[in-house]
Amino acid sequence: MTLVKESPAVVKASPAPPAAARRRGRRENLAGYLFMSPWIVGFLLLTAGPMVASLYFAFTDYNLFSSPKWVGLDNFTRMFDDSRWQKSVEVTAKYVVIGTPLKLLLALGVALLLAQSRRGQAFYRAAFYAPSLIGASVSIALVWRALFSDDAIVDRSLRLFGVEIGGWVGDPGWVLYCLVALTVWQFGAPMVIFLAGLKQVPRELYEAAEVDGAGPLRRFWYITLPMISPVVFFNVLLETIHSFQIFGSAYVISPNGNCGPADAVLVYTCYLYQKGFDEAQMGFASAMAWMLLLAVALVTAVLFWSQKKWVHYEEDAR
């Protein structure tokens, strides 16, 4: 056996002194903070600062033109005596309960179809995702209002089947469903997430179920849903929070931007906008904003609590 001796020219690097290592660490940290400084400044000035200010204004009588006056919990107690605030809570809850499940069901159904190999698959995926790229813009809401107006294309099409509505936008009983239809139409984002989850389901499970004689419905219920339950939870959580924050579409679709008729689409954020900017009651509007934050936090907490009973993660099976 030949032993190879280490060349005397090879000099092992000695570890740096502790003081030098600390100085180098401080320089690296300083460089990191410098790179992060634009985000930190933006967060403090545009997010954290306004949040702290709105929390203070929530306990004051502030109209944007005079100094705020401390009123304690008056703004919060006034909410429960305000009939329009109660109406906004009712409309928002109805929109969340109807719009969110319909959007997710449609997204899951289309994702199941697109998960199968077929010709033109890339085109169909892009076509179904396109409405989500547009987002809830003012232009789309204006087009949607024109489509569902009296004697417009939707009204004429329904007339062919003997359904006479007379315009969804001007009818208090139908305008909210017009808003829900716009939300459901933009199902592309959750569809893509569902599609990614479906691609992760092992094909061996389906093959084993087919050998055991399980039909499509049983395979979907006992294999697909449990395997994609984390993705379902993520979409439910995300879309629920988005539904609580609906504003632009409701404001534009309603005639004259008054969230009507008869406050039919008076969603919570729309009433908050009216109180803060139309009536200059910024203290009351700030209190409404914090109540919305508490409501969303409560719903989020309930969803996280419930996930223990129906969401199955990979590590749970080990």
pLDDT attached to residue 206: 87
CA atoms lying within 13 Å on the CB side of residue 230: 11
List all residues 6 or more positions away from 216 whose beta carbon is below 8 Å from its beta carbon. none
Helix (H) or strand (E) holding 70: strand 69-70
Q: How far apart are CA 48 and CA 138, in angstroms?
A: 28
pTM of the predicted structure, to 2 decimals: 0.84
Give the integer Cα–Cα distance in Å for 40 and 289.
24
Residue ranges in the chain modelled with pLDDT below 70 = 1-17, 135-136, 256-257, 314-318
| Predicted local confidence at residue 123, as pLDDT | 86
Enclosing H/E stretch for 60? strand 60-61
Distance (Å, whole) CA 312 – CA 107: 21
Tens-place pLDDT, residues 69-113: 999 999 999 999 999 999 999 999 999 999 999 999 999 999 999
253 CB-side CA count, 13 A: 35
Where b means 16+ CB within 10 Å and e means fewer, 50-69 reads eeeebeebbbbbbbeeeebe
pLDDT of residue 274: 92
Which domains are delineated in the chain?
A: 20-57 (no CATH), 74-317 (1.10.3720.10)
- Residue 107 is predicted with a pLDDT of 95
Residue 70 forms beta bridges with which residues?
60
Please give the pLDDT value at position 296: 96
What was the pLDDT predicted at 79? 93
